[in-house]
Structure 1
Amino acid sequence: MSAKPRLTRLRDEWMARWPEALALWSKFTKLREPRWCFNKTEEKEENLSGSFAMIRLNDHTIVISLAQVLDQKLDPFPLEILGHEIGHHVYCPADLSDQGRMIARMRRALPTKEHQAGFISNLYADLLINDRLQRGSTLKMADVYRTLGNDSTDRVWTFYMRIYEILWSLQKGSLAKGEIDGSLEGDAALGARLIRAYGKYWLKGAGRFAALCLPYLMKDEAQQMRKILKGWLDTQDAGAGGTPDGLIEIDADEAEGAIHPALDDELTGIDMGETGEEDGEGDEGEAKKKRDAITPDSSSAGGARGQYREPFEYGEILKGMGVKLSPHELAIRYYRERSLPHLVKFPSRAIPESKEPLAEGLDVWDVGSPLEEVDWFESTMASPQIIPGITTVQRVYGTASGSLPEREPVDLDLYVDCSGSMPNPQAATSYLTLAGAIISLSALRVGSRVKATLWSGAHDYQTTGQFIRDEHDVLKILTGYIGGWTAFPIHLLRETFANRKPSDRPVHILVISDDGVDTMFSDDEKGNSGWDVSRMALERARGGGTMVLNLWSDWQQNQTLLRASREGWDIHRVQTWEQLVEFARVFSRANYGETGKK
């Protein structure tokens, strides 16, 4: 029999079991039919690489390679495979957000092996799903792994299979074919207990499972096991095409969950004190009880709600989910999400009071106008002979002005220092970038246009060039990095306002920098004084100018800044870069909020 009819027959057989596979989880489960791939071309179109099955959380899709199912000799297991893939959509991880949170927790429990978090999350999710299917639906999940494992004696594979043997009360060695020493047996027992104990709240057990697996990754990073499971690493690219919200903030119990299961009293039944010994009724046990009573939800560094990840870690989490974006694109998403809580509210529309129309005279009605607009009385008064377009007239109406004044948004000309003393926003949190994002997105939200410039040297800068309304293009500039010597690009300020007309919108000029801002008042490449350029820009901008500067001492002790203040610049001092966030929030509300200046 040729390959195409065999694959078609396999597709039809498996498709007939699809409703039954959905019902394994609930009679109410609804999911679209899997994408069936008959050849390599179709697999490539679905981004299916190496595995015979995969899921995509972004569009709730299951993809099955029929040819690889036959090659792996898995055609007798339609319910097992389809039910497993459905379980990833309805149980673990179920959505992009929880997939990212699971990987984040595992990364904390995998020091030096953080890049393996995506692989370990796949193993953990498979354990949870397969255990529920094997016990609740009496499927042959063990036979699937016998087929995949091919009697491998790899230590990591043996550890993983031994967990299944304990979970399903199988004879030792029925799945795990390698050597099982005391250490591996104890770890497998803890793994099985963890799956059962945290089956309902599986996110809480994610860090614990990763810590349990860490010693088995130290030798060869489980390369042999990766080869065995290559055909069924179905969540490796589950996040492709999507970028979930909520991952920039650290979960409250994320850090404290990164512990070995042997230290978890919910699994061992032993309450451990700080010394690692069982708490008794003595002083140490009583001390721990008092600590827990005082701080029941306390955690180690990074565990408190409201703390944020660094952009690099955020990017690594998304990479572990299969999201394929450049560091620059990841930074754009990071700073956009982090700025959202600080933005001004969307403006409400002010509607003027209703007025009666005002009759202002007559005009010729032509044959292209609506017939109901003809004023027949005035037309017959003008001429008893009605000739359309010649003697026909229509009434012209005006409107009375509303009682509410028109609001004119103020555009923003933003200059953010990106010299060598500033952090790279794609690797570490840059509060200059964050402040710029808060202010720029607030301005765009109320209808203003933004011209963003990232500068380091006089000819070393990145800019949007014009005042624009594109949020992505503005953030693309703000999340860039230059890292050179410091010199303000005076010619950009000059060129922006040299030909500014009085009828153009007013613009507010904002400069975020440190003491290097004094280069703004040096001579430009044409010999023009920076003071003259600054004065001209403020006059023609008509929206004011602000400098927010990170300074050690009071700016009023600086003669250059004193003169700048006298010439119209509003100067604000911050002592730490973190204070820029509060400045940005207050500035946005003052200039772009409902009660701010319009």
Structure 2
Amino acid sequence: MTRETSEQPPEIAEVLARWQETWPTALQLWNPYVSLREPQWCLTTAEAREAGLQDSFAMIRLRGLAVVVDLETVRKLRVENYALQVLAHEIGHHLLVPANLYDYAGLMMRVRLALAGIEDRAPLVANLYADLLINDRLQRTMGQDMASLYRHLREKGIGETRIFLWYMRIYELLWSLPRGFLSCDKSEPVLDADASLGASVLRSFARDWLDGAGRFAMLAYPYLIEDALHQQALREFAHLSDITSAGVGAELPAGMAEIPSSVFDGIVDPREEVLQNAPNHQEADSPGRAKPGSLTAIIPGSDASTGPQQRYMQPGIYVDLMRQIHPDVDEDRLIGRYYRDVVTPHLVPFPVEALGELSGDVLPEGTDPWEPGDPIEDLDWFESALLSPIVIPGVTTRRRVYAEDIAEPEKEKPYHLYVGIDCSGSMHNPRRTFSWPVCAGALVSLSALRVGARVMACLSGEPGSFMETRGFIKEENEVLRVLTSYLGTGYAFGIPRLETEHLQNAKEKTHLLIVTDDDIFSMLAAPRSDGQTNYDIAEQALRRAGGGGTLVLHARAEWRPQEAERLRQMGWVIHYVTDENALFDFAKAFANRFYRSQGNPTCKRP
């Protein structure tokens, strides 16, 4: 089954010509209607490095549906005779696994959940799983001799770790190859059993491959748990790692912060499934096997899931996941995308313009062609003569078109929004753990922006520091960047922030929304050098804004009742929450009250 190779590799130009000629054939293997642009042929490894290809001789990029081939490494490994298999394999990554960035992120999510505690191994395991699925399709369905390619690479001395032997043993079982054809007969009973389970997962989930990813990762877990084994495996699989950088440069998919409930159904150790179904089952430790109960840290409702209805991963985990897909992505964008994903299902709908009533007035709207058969009284002789002095019915003849005037509905502008979030030392870092205050601020802010209002966001932890947008803006990313930052200073939101010139010079009515806790009363009572109190500042800001103010306190109503009443006398509305989760319900109600459009462009006022 192996192919003969000459002692000396062919010249690079010959390899290039041969592989270019093979590319259309590789496309035909999958589908005669598939159209992918020709790969980027790198004649040197240095050129391949510049293109992002590190140690492998081929890879894909999901951005632009690209394939990159390092022809120098192809010659070095003497795989120039396997052009069809290699190119068909890379095409399979674009058409089968992972196929697109969304499914690639879903694959990585499932693998990471299964590799609890060693999530940094996820790119390698995801690559192995994807390669198995594609190679099995090529070998069994498309008649490609993938076994010879891997036999050739194995003879180059690649692979001595147990995970490499397990991986090759899976191929032997999938393709009914003799023991040792790929694994060099170094297998053992435990490894054989795991390989048999791996082959079963591959066959059972060949079509619904996302559902099998967690099971496959659970099988790989014990072979990668030690750092030294992982590092050695990375070196051994380096030439086969062709999707670990697939997401670089691509626009990250939305909606990946949510963990679908079905995902947890697939995070199952096949070993335990077999043991539980076996007669006279008794729990026992086996060398190299995962212990029962290893999934207790990732079941729904645990620390791995948070947010509304416990459906979202922690923001720190989300950032780690996305950086494994796209290592160069900006963290501000990631965190903003995370909280946008969480609140998007709860935003107010986009406003819908309502048609006004017909006024009864008829207005001319121009002309249309007049054709024989149309009423003669519709013929506009003046417009026809302007078009041509020679009247040709149906060619130069025109008729006047009229329409009834529609009264425009009154458009009331939505209130602009000033949203201030307490970011003192008592608040969580929204970039590491889920923050309900930030989530509430994001929901209200994005709802306001959606209906055309402007938003000014401010983080404040004072005495200490603050961060705010450049006044009232319509830029979602900038608002989210401020809201999702972290200060961790002071003890409360700084009321002096309301003295900003952007509020003093506000030309449109603005609503003030501040999310903090009962320490705000200490801030309000703090002395000032100008003889005023922060109560005075709060009252002046409310008057200048003109659209009212809401103070959301994480406190109980019976705490500091006199101070709260003083604020109410000024016109502030105080809303108490005793559980941070309730902030989200408040934010939804607030957004609906101020910014929800009821079939017309006006917004409800308080």
**TM-score, scaled relative to structure 2:** 0.81
Aligned counterparts of 1:272 and 1:299: Cα–Cα separation in 2: 30
Aligned partner of residue 576 in structure 2, secondary structure: strand
Residue among 179, 188, 210 paired with 1:203: 210
- The answer to whether the Cα contact below 8 Å between 1:55 and 1:61 also exists between their aligned partners in 2 is yes
Which residue does 2:266 correspond to in 1? Answer: 257
Q: 2:500 aligns with which of 489, 495, 498?
A: 495
Distance 2:406 2:196 in 1: 80
Confirm or deny: 8 A CA contact 2:458 2:483 kept in the other structure.
Answer: yes
Q: 1:579 matched to which residue of 2?
A: 582
Q: 1:542 aligns with which of 531, 542, 546?
A: 546
Query: 1:221 maps to what in 2?
Result: 229
Distance in 2 of aligned mates of 1:269 and 1:94: 35
Counterparts of 1:73 and 1:530 in 2: how far apart (Å)? 77
Shift of 1:115: 1.1
| Conserved? CA contact 2:179–2:185, under 8 Å | no
Counterpart in the other structure of 2:482: 477
Percent identical? 36
Contact 1:494 1:533 in 2 (8 A): yes
1:234 Cα shift?
0.7
**Partner of residue 334, structure 2:** 330
Q: Choose from 190, 195, 216 the match for 2:197.
A: 190
- Which residue identity lines up with residue 129 of structure 1 in the other structure? I
Aligned match of 2:29 = 24
From 219, 231, 240, the counterpart of 1:232: 240
Find out whether 1:554 has 2:557 as its counterpart.
Answer: yes
- What is the deviation of 1:178? 5.9
Distance in 2 (alpha carbons) for counterparts of 1:563 and 1:401: 49
Could you tell me whether the CA contact under 8 Å between 1:105 and 1:258 is conserved in 2? yes
* Residue in structure 1 matched with residue 296 of structure 2 by the alignment: none
Question: Where does residue 170 of structure 2 map in the other structure?
Answer: 163
Deviates more, 1:169-178 or 1:429-438: 169-178
* Cα separation, partners in 2 of 1:327 and 1:274, compared to 1, 3 Å: farther
Report SS of the residue matched to 1:222: helix
Establish whether residue 180 from structure 1 lines up as the match of residue 183 from structure 2: no
Range moving further from structure 2, 418-427 or 105-114: 105-114
Is 1:455 the counterpart of 2:464? The answer is no
Q: CA deviation at 1:255?
A: 2.3
In 1, Cα distance between the equivalents of 2:406 and 2:107? 58
Choose which of 298, 307, 318 in structure 1 pairs with 2:322: 318
Q: Which amino acid aligns with 2:220?
A: C
Indicate if the aligned counterparts of 1:515 and 1:550 stay in contact, CA closer than 8 A: yes
Any residues of structure 2 matched to 1:133-144 within 5 Å, and which? 133-144=138-149
Query: For residues 122 and 401 of structure 1, do their structure 2 counterparts lie closer, same or farther at Cα, with a shift above 3 Å needed?
Result: closer
Alignment map for 1:331-480 (pairs within 5 Å): 331-350=335-354, 402=407, 404-480=409-485
Contact 1:413 1:452 survives alignment (8 Å): yes
- Aligned position for 2:72: 67
Shift in CA distance, 459/58, structure 1 to aligned 2, threshold 3 Å = same
The AA in structure 1 aligned to 2:232 is: Q
CA 1:547–1:146: 2 relative to 1, 3 Å: same
Q: Which one of the candidate residues 571, 579, 582 is aligned to 1:568?
A: 571
Look up the equivalent residue of 2:574 and give its one-letter code: I
Match of 1:376 in 2: none
* Separation (CA, whole Å) in 1 of partners of 2:474 and 2:231: 49
How far apart are residue 10 of structure 1 and its match? 2.2
* Aligned position for 1:104: 109
User: Are 1:133 and 1:139, in contact at CA under 8 Å, matched by a contact in 2?
Assistant: yes
Unaligned 5+ runs, structure 1: 278-297, 359-399
Q: In the alignment, which residue of structure 2 is the partner of 1:148? A: 153
Query: 509-518 or 491-500, which moves further after superposition?
Result: 491-500
- Deviations 1:508-567 (CA, angstroms, capped at 9, x unpaired): 11100111222145344544221221111111111110011111x225752111110111
Aligned to 2:513: 510
Cα-to-partner distance string for 1:253-312 (whole Å, 9 max, x where unaligned): 3223222212335xx8947899779xxxxxxxxxxxxxxxxxxxx978579986111111
Distance in 2 (CA, whole Å) between partners of 1:347 and 1:275 is 62
Relative to structure 1, is the Cα distance of residues 476 and 300 closer, same or farther in structure 2, using a 3 angstrom cutoff?
A: closer
RMSD over aligned Cα atoms? 2.8
Deviations 1:297-350 (A, max 9, x none): x97857998611111111122122234324433211100111101111111234
The residue that corresponds to 2:366 in the other structure is none
What is aligned with 2:136? 131
Once the two structures are superposed, residues 185-241 of structure 1 have per-residue CA deviations (whole angstroms, 9 ceiling, x without a partner) of 111111112211111111111111111111111232333332122122011011222
